[in-house]
Amino acid sequence: MNLNLDFSFYNWDLISNFVLKGLYFSLMLTIVATIGGIIFGTVLALMRLSGKKWLDTPATIYVNGMRSIPLVMVILWFFLLVPLLIGRPIGAEVSAVVTFIAFEAAYFSEIMRAGIQSIPRGQVHAGQALGMSYGQNMKLVVLPQAFRNMLPVLLTQTIILFQDTSLVYAIGAYDMLKGFEVAGKNFGRPIEAYLAAAVVYFVMCYALSWSVKQLHKKIAIIR
């Protein structure tokens, strides 16, 4: 089999018309899912650490349930079943955003729970001795330190999230992978398109991983 690869058809017009549109959605999905996932995940982590069974039990079931199901199945279930329940279709992009926030919250909650538990109990007791409520203690003492301790791990999970955005291809959302695919089909070069997509994903994720590693070193020095 003679594999004749030709990347000469790639130019700025092609990239701007097909790839950048998908890249914009992939980055937007990553940012929104990260912010939403951290907020929702922090709530789940606090529920699990509350010591109250009526809060801990549903949060534990949710987190363990989500972490036991492949993301692509959650994407497909939400995209196919929710329209049947509400009686009207939902867009692939909206479905992807909601699904990613709900799914990633389970992973971010475990990161935040570990971060909160890493804070010495003496600092919590000191806050209580100053008359702080549970909410004030968490907001002013525990969570800021937990975020700093877990920042490299949170960013690493965000990089994984960016890689996972390619799974929205399964419901037809126009992400970066879809942009490369459309460009390759228009020029009859699908193999080159997928190879180019792989290279771009690798370069972006490697650069981000290197940056997170440098940040981790700086945080370690500060400690």
19-30: per-residue pLDDT in tens?
A: 888 999 999 999
Q: Which residues of the chain fall short of a pLDDT of 50?
A: 1
What pLDDT, on a 0 to 100 scale, did the predictor assign at position 1? 45
Q: Which residue has the tokens 């475990």?
A: 110
Dist CA 165 CA 182 (whole Å) = 17
What pLDDT, on a 0 to 100 scale, did the predictor assign at position 221? 54
- The CB-based long-range contact list for 199-202 (8 Å cut-off, 24+ gap) reads 200/176, 201/163, 201/166, 201/176
Pair of tokens at residue 50: 């509350």
The pLDDT tens digits for 43-86 are 999 999 888 999 999 999 999 999 999 999 999 999 999 888 88
Pair of tokens at residue 16: 């701007």
What pLDDT, on a 0 to 100 scale, did the predictor assign at position 139? 82
Overall pTM surpassing 0.85 (yes/no): yes
* In the chain, domain spans: 12-222
Pair of tokens at residue 152: 């490299």
Instruction: Return all residues near 129 (Cβ < 8 A) that are at least 6 apart.
Output: none
CATH value of 12-222 in 2.60.40.2550, 3.30.1330.10, 1.10.3720.10, 3.40.50.261: 1.10.3720.10
**Closest C-alpha to 34, from 187, 169, 156:** 156
Pair of tokens at residue 162: 């960016």
Q: What is the CA radius of gyration of the chain?
A: 21
